[in-house]
Amino acid sequence: MRVPIKTKLYLGMIGLVLLYVGLVWLLNTQYLEKYYMSKKQDLLIHSSQIIDDLYKDDLGKIASTLAQLESDMSVSIRITGADGITKYSSIYRLINGKPFFPEATASPDQASRANVSSNYLKVDQSINDQFILEIQKDPILNRDYLVLERKLQNDDVLMLRIRLSSITESVAIANQFMGFTAIPVILLGCIWTVIFARRFTHPIIQLKEIAHSMANLDFRKKCQPQSNDEIADLADSINYLSDQLDLAIKELHLQNQRLTEDIQKKRQMEHLRKEFVSNVSHELKTPISLISGYAEGLKANVMEDETNKNFYCEVIMDEARKMDQTVKDLLNLAQLDSEYFRLNKTVFDIAALLQQVLYKYTAIFAEKSIQLSVAASNGLLVYADRGKIEQVIVNFINNALSHVNQDKIISLDLTPCGDKIRLSVMNSGSHIADDSLDKIWISFYRADQARPREDGRVGLGLAIVKAIQERHHNSFGAENLEQGVRFWIELDRAKFHTP
Task: Specify the amino acid at residue 148.
Answer: L
* Domain positions in the chain: 5-172, 343-496
DSSP label of 29 = I
Residue 346: predicted pLDDT: 92
Residue 17 pLDDT greater than 50, yes or no: yes
- The angle, 0 to 180 degrees and rounded to 10, between the axes of the packed helices 461-472 and 306-337 is 30
Q: Where are the beta strands (DSSP E) in 272-388?
A: 345-349, 371-375, 381-385
Share above pLDDT 70 across residues of the chain, in percent, rounded to a whole number: 82
Beta bridge pairs of residue 478:
487
Q: At what angle do helices 386-403 and 350-360 cross, to 10 degrees?
A: 50
| Contact criterion met (CB below 8 Å) for 352 and 378 | yes
Task: Give the angle 190-196-200 at the CA atoms, nearest 5°.
Answer: 145
CATH of domain 5-172: 3.30.450
Question: What is the distance, to the nearest Å, from the Cα of residue 63 to the centroid of all Cα atoms in its chain?
Answer: 82
Nearest to 482 by CA among 414, 396, 409, 423: 409
For residue 412, pLDDT beyond 90: yes
Q: Which amino acid is at 14?
A: I
3-state helix, strand, coil in the chain (%, to 5): 55, 20, 25
Does residue 424 register a pLDDT over 90?
yes
- % the chain with pLDDT above 90: 14
Contact between residue 132 and residue 149 where contact means Cβ atoms under 8 Å apart: yes
Q: How confident is the model at residue 238 (pLDDT cuts 50, 70, 90)?
A: confident
* Contact status, residue 80 vs residue 91, Cβ threshold 8 Å: no
Tell me the residue ranges of DSSP E strands in 102-253: 121-127, 131-138, 143-151, 157-163
Helices (H), 300-349: 306-337
For 335-383, the pLDDT digits (tens) are 777 767 788 899 999 999 999 999 988 988 999 999 999 998 878 899 9
Distance CA 99, CA 495 (A): 138
Q: Which pLDDT tens digit goes with each residue over 303-324? A: 667 777 788 788 788 778 777 7
Window from 128-137, 142-151, 321-330, 443-452 with minimum mean pLDDT? 443-452
User: What are the CA-CA distances from residue 457 to residues 323, 325, 327, 448, 462 (Å)?
Assistant: 10, 9, 12, 12, 11
pLDDT digits (tens, 9 = 90+) for 71-117: 887 788 888 887 878 888 887 654 555 555 554 434 444 444 334 44
CATH superfamily of 343-496: Histidine kinase-like ATPase, C-terminal domain (3.30.565.10)
**How much is the pTM?**
0.45
Contact 448, 432 (CB under 8 A): no
pLDDT band at 330 (very low <50, low <70, confident <90, very high): confident
Distance CA 388, CA 394 (A): 10
Q: Please give the Cα distance from 443 to 455 (Å, whole number).
A: 17
What distance in Å separates the CA atoms of residue 442 and residue 460, rounded to the nearest whole number? Answer: 8
Which of 41-50, 147-156, 193-202 shows the lowest per-residue confidence on average (mean pLDDT)? 193-202
Asked if 5-172 and 343-496 have one fold, the answer is: no
The yes-or-no verdict on residue 250 having pLDDT over 70 is yes
3-state DSSP call for residue 448? coil
φ, ψ for residue 347, nearest 5 deg: -95, 125
For residue 68, CA distances in Å to 56, 186, 192 come to 18, 42, 47
